[in-house]
């Protein structure tokens, strides 16, 4: 599998990455950097691409990386 191939990701992971990427772009982050950050977040949450028998399958999701950004930007 070549680097950058997203075929091992579930539809849910792809949707999440797209949504996260849009949020970064709305804040003025360049498109490629937004995509890189979005997939890094999805990988951190899901442990990489999930398929039965693959890495992270059957383990609970860790949503802490998604919460972390909000705490950093809105913390008081």
Model confidence pLDDT, tens digit, residues 16-52: 999 999 999 999 999 999 999 999 988 888 877 666 6
Q: Where do the domains of the chain lie?
A: 11-49+63-74
pLDDT of residue 60: 73
Residues 65 and 47 sit within 8 Å (Cβ to Cβ)? no
Q: How far is CA 34 from the centre of its chain?
A: 11
Residue 15, pLDDT above cutoff 70: yes
Which pTM does this prediction carry?
0.69
Coil, strand or helix at 67: helix
Distance separating alpha carbons of residues 64 and 76, to the nearest angstrom: 18
SS3 content of the chain, % helix, strand, coil (to 5): 55, 0, 45
């Amino acid at each position: 599998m070549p680097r950058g191939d997203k075929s091992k990701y579930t539809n849910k992971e792809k949707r999440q990455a797209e949504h996260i990427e849009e949020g970064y772009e709305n804040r003025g982050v360049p498109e490629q950097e937004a995509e890189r950050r979005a997939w890094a977040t999805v990988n951190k949450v899901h442990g990489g691409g999930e398929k039965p028998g693959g890495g992270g399958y059957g383990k609970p999701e860790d949503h802490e990386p998604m919460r972390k950004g909000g705490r950093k930007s809105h913390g008081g």
